[in-house]
Each structure stands twice: as structure tokens, then as C-alpha cells.
Amino acid sequence: MMVFMIRILGLLMVMVVGCGSDKDSPTGIDNRDLLIWTTTYDGGEIKEEYQYYLNTSNNKRVRDGWYNSYSRDGNYKEVGIYKDDKKEGKWVLYYNSGEVLREENFVNGKKEGKEVGYDINGNINYELIYKDGECVEGCV
């Protein structure tokens, strides 16, 4: 029930933000319009959704903005942000049950800073430090 309520709240927020336009806010130096791409499981549940713009030179989607993926039961699997098809900022990965599995940080598509892994009860399993995509502290 809680997952359902969170999904409804999220949809309402998207509807309120999106009022008045069929596209999302422009982004980047080219002032590109952001669109939303959604894929579903066979049963119709949302599997993945993200913001993107079309690369005009090859007509391919370029992820740019928020990204969410979901398990079949509607819990988050992965949440983060893309900038020009590269992971950027904080990303959170989840167990199928909805608890946080791992928190990571990215700069220009490479891991940067602290990564923290958790067990199913929320206790810290490990902490790693990354610099320019390479593990520099706590590595095994």
C-alpha cells in the first residue's frame, strides 16, 4: 500500500510540474527540450523511466536528467541523474525489498568520492573511496 501511495504522489508531482507543456524544461547550452522515456515489464508495471533529449545528428536518445528503475513490485532498483548520457552526482541502488543496497557518487560518468554498501537491515557493510573512477581507499 505504501509503495502504491508513493507512486501516486510521484505521478501527481509530475503532473503538476508538467502542466502547461508536453515537454520538460530545457537543458544544456543548446536549450534542448527534455522528454521522458518509459519501459515496462510484460505485466505493464514500469521497469525504467528517464529524461532524455534526441541527438539531432543520429536521432538517438541521450539520457539527461533524472533516472529511475523499478523492481516488478514497484520498489526502486536504482535512482540517479544523468548528464549527457553519463552518471552524475548521487546514485542509490536498492534491494528488491526496497531497502538501500548502495550509495555511490559520480562525476562525468566515473565514480568519485565515497561509496557506501549496506546490508538488508541498513547496517554499513563497507565504505570505499573513489578518485576519477578508481578505488583508492578501502579497496579489496
**Domains of the chain, start order:** 30-137 (3.90.930.1)
What one-character DSSP code corresponds to residue 26? Answer: E
pLDDT band at 140 (very low <50, low <70, confident <90, very high): confident
Q: What percent of the chain has pLDDT over 90?
A: 76
Check residues 13 and 33 and name the one with the higher pLDDT: 33
Is the Cβ–Cβ distance between 81 and 87 less than 8 Å?
Answer: yes
Residue 24 backbone zone (phi > 0: left; psi -120 to 50: alpha; other: beta): beta
Q: What is the mean pLDDT of the chain?
A: 85
- Using alpha carbons, list the distances in angstroms from residue 125 to 79, 89, 128, 129: 20, 22, 10, 14
Which pLDDT does position 31 carry in this prediction? 61
What one-character DSSP code corresponds to residue 98? Answer: S
β-strand partners of 53? 62
* Separation CA 9–CA 74 (nearest Å): 13
Residue 1 has pLDDT above 90, yes or no: no
- Listed range (4-13, 23-32, 58-67, 124-133) with the worst mean pLDDT: 4-13
| Distant-in-sequence, close-in-space partners of 92: CB < 8 Å, separation ≥ 6 | 76, 78, 79, 80, 100, 102, 103, 104
Is the pTM higher than 0.85? The answer reads no
Q: Mapping DSSP to helix (H, G, I), strand (E, B) and coil, where does residue 95 land?
A: coil
Residue 124 has pLDDT above 60, yes or no: yes
